[in-house]
C-alpha cells in the first residue's frame, strides 16, 4: 500500500477505482500479502516443519481459503459450517483439526465421516459423545485433548482463552485423568495434546509458560502424543504500539521441545495469516461539524466491522487522496448505525476531508467480515481480491430483499 501522486494504491491498483467499480463499503484483500504472510510463517518455524492449520473463524471467504489450500496450508475449524467451507475450498481433510467447546453429535459425526485429522475435545462429556459416534459406526476415532494451562496471555481480556476462568480446555489434572481413563479405549485413539491461550499475543513469555505446562503433562502422564497442537494467537502490529512477537525466541524453545519429545507440531494461526491482508474501503457520506468534533460519517458501520465496538480495537484509517491541509480538531470516524459504539476511531487532528471522499480502514482481514451482521437491516459489504494486478469480486453482498 502506498501513495503515488497523492493517490492511494494497493498492490499498484488505485483504491478509488476499486470503489467506483465494486461499490462501498467493500472488503479488499491482497493475494501478495497473504502469500507473503504464509511464507514468512513457514520460515519462522522452518526447523520444526509444523502442520499449519489456518483458523477459519478469522476469515471464511471461500476464495481466500482456496488460495490458502493451494499454499499447502490446512484448517482449524470450529463448526460444521466452517468444516464444509474448508472442504469445499479443497483443503485436505488430513490437514483439518476441529476445535470448540460445544461440538454436537451431528457435527462430530460429520467430521468423522469426512476423515479429518483430529477432533480436539474440550470436556469429558464431549469425549463421551465422540465415543458414542465411534461405537455407532464401529470405528476408532483420533482425538486430541485441549489443555487449559492457566496462563495469562496478556492480551485484551475478551480474547484471552487460557486462564482457568475461561470456558476453554481442561485443567492439567483433568487432562492427566482423562488420558489414563481413555488410553486403553478400543474406540478412541488419543493422538494429540492441544492448547490455545488467546489472540493478539505480542510477547513470547506466555507461550514459554504454556510450553512448560505442556511438558509437565507429557512427563506426568508418560504418554506418547503424536501431535502437540500449540494453537494460534500470534499478534500483529496494528500500528498503535510497535510491540511484536519475537518469533525466534518462541521457535527456538519449540525446537528444543520437539527434539526432546519427538512430536509433530501443529499451529492454528488466524490473525497472523490474514490480519494485514484486508482493507475496508468506505465512502464519507456526511461530515457533521459540532463545536468540538468533526463527525466523519462513513457508509461502513459496526455491522461491517465489529472489532472497535466489541474490543475497542484500534484500526488505522487513511485517506485515498492525500493532502497537506491539516485540520486541528477532534475527528470521530463513525458509521450510520444507531449505536454510540458505532465508532471506528477518534483522532485529535486529520487532513482536510470532504463529503464523498473515500477512506480505508486497515488490517481488517481477520475477524472483520466474519463478525459482520445485518444489524439495522443493512446488507453486508462486497469482498474483492487483488491478484496478479487484477481485482476480482470474491463474495457478493446479499440482496436486501433476501434478508428482509
Ligand atoms: C481463534 C482460535 C485460533 C486462532 O487465533 P488467532 O489469534 O487468530 O491466531 C486458533 N485456535 C483456536 C482453538 C481458536 O479458537
Beta carbon of 146 within 6 Å of any ligand 1 atom: no
Q: Give the position of cell 518462541.
A: 250
Beta carbon of 271 within 6 Å of any ligand 1 atom: yes
**Residue of 196, 206, 207, 234 best suited for mutating to test ligand 1, as the one with most atoms within 8 Å of CB:** 196
Ligand 1 center–CA 125 separation, angstroms: 22
pLDDT of residue 164: 85
Beta carbon of 196 within 6 Å of any ligand 1 atom: yes
Report the pLDDT averaged over residues 295-303. Answer: 98
Q: Please enumerate in sequence order all residues whose Cβ is within 8 A of that of 141, keeping only pairs 6 or more positions apart, or say none.
A: 112, 119, 130, 133, 134, 187, 188, 189
pLDDT of residue 191: 98
Nearest to 87 by CA among 117, 128, 123, 58: 117
pLDDT of residue 223: 96
Q: Band the pLDDT of 163: cuts 50, 70, 90.
A: confident
**Residue of 74, 79, 233 best suited for mutating to test ligand 1, as the one with most atoms within 8 Å of CB:** 233
pLDDT of residue 233: 97
Q: How far apart are CA 295 and CA 332, in angstroms?
A: 5
- Atom index in ligand 1 nearest the CA of residue 235 equals 7
- pLDDT, one tens digit per residue, over 70-106 is 999 999 999 999 999 999 999 999 999 999 999 999 9
What is the SS3 assignment for 26?
A: strand
Report the pLDDT averaged over residues 96-123. Answer: 97
**Do 237 and 194 touch, CB atoms closer than 8 A?**
no
Nearest to 370 by CA among 238, 244, 280: 280
Active site residues: 338
**Domains parsed from the chain with CATH numbers:** 2-29+275-403 (2.40.37.10), 100-267 (3.20.20.10)
> Is 90 exceeded by the pLDDT of residue 195?
yes
pLDDT of residue 51: 98
pLDDT of residue 157: 83
Ligand 1 center–CA 270 separation, angstroms: 6
pLDDT of residue 305: 98
- The reply to whether the predicted model has a pTM over 0.95 is yes
Nearest to 397 by CA among 303, 313, 271: 303
* Secondary structure letter of residue 12 according to DSSP: T
pLDDT of residue 165: 85
pLDDT of residue 242: 77
Q: Band the pLDDT of 160: cuts 50, 70, 90.
A: confident
- Atom index in ligand 1 nearest the CA of residue 270 equals 8
Amino acid at each position: 500500500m502506498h501513495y503515488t501522486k497523492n493517490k492511494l494504491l494497493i498492490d499498484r491498483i488505485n483504491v478509488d477505482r476499486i470503489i467506483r467499480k465494486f461499490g462501498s463499503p467493500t472488503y479488499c484483500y491482497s493475494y501478495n500479502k497473504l502469500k507473503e504472510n504464509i511464507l514468512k510463517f513457514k520460515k519462522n518455524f522452518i526447523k520444526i516443519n509444523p502442520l499449519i492449520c489456518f483458523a477459519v473463524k478469522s476469515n471464511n471467504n471461500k476464495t481466500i481459503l482456496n488460495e490458502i489450500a493451494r499454499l499447502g496450508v490446512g484448517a482449524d475449524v470450529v463448526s460444521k459450517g466452517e468444516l464444509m467451507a474448508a472442504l469445499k475450498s479443497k483443503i485436505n481433510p488430513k490437514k483439518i483439526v476441529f476445535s470448540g467447546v460445544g461440538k454436537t453429535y451431528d457435527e462430530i459425526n460429520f467430521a468423522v465421516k469426512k476423515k479429518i485429522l483430529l477432533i480436539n475435545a474440550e470436556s469429558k462429556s464431549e469425549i463421551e459423545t465422540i465415543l458414542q459416534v465411534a461405537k455407532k459406526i464401529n470405528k476408532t476415532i483420533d482425538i486430541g485433548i485441549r489443555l487449559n494451562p492457566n496462563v495469562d496471555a496478556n492480551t485484551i481480556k475478551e480474547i484471552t482463552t487460557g486462564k482457568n476462568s475461561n470456558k476453554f480446555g481442561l485443567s492439567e489434572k483433568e487432562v492427566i485423568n482423562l488420558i489414563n481413563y481413555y488410553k486403553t479405549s478400543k474406540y478412541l485413539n488419543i493422538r494429540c495434546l492441544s492448547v490455545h491461550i488467546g489472540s493478539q499475543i505480542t510477547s513470547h513469555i506466555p507461550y514459554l509458560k504454556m510450553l512448560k505446562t505442556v511438558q509437565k503433562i507429557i512427563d506426568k502422564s508418560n504418554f506418547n502424543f503424536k501431535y502437540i497442537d500449540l494453537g494460534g494467537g500470534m499478534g500483529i502490529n496494528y500500528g498503535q504500539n510497535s510491540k511484536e512477537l519475537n518469533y525466534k525466541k518462541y521457535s527456538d524453545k519449540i525446537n528444543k521441545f520437539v527434539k526432546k519429545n519427538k512430536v509433530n507440531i501443529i499451529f492454528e494461526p488466524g490473525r497472523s495469516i490474514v490480519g494485514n491482508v484486508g482493507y475496508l474501503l468506505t465512502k464519507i457520506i456526511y461530515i457533521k461539524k459540532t463545536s468540538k468534533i468533526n463527525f466523519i460519517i462513513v457508509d461502513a458501520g459496526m455491522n461491517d466491522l465489529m472489532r472497535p465496538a466489541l474490543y475497542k480495537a484500534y484500526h488505522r484509517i487513511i485517506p485515498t487522496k492525500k493532502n497537506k491541509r491539516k485540520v486541528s480538531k477532534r475527528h470521530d470516524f463513525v458509521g450510520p448505525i444507531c449505536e454510540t459504539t458505532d465508532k471506528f476511531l477518534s483522532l485529535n487532528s486529520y487532513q482536510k476531508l470532504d463529503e464523498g471522499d473515500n477512506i480505508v480502514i486497515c488490517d481488517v482481514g481477520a475477524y472483520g467480515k466474519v463478525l459482520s451482521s445485518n444489524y439495522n437491516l443493512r446488507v453486508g459489504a462486497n469482498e474483492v481480491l487483488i491478484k496478479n494486478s487484477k481485482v476480482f469480486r470474491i463474495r457478493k453482498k446479499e440482496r436486501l430483499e433476501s434478508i428482509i
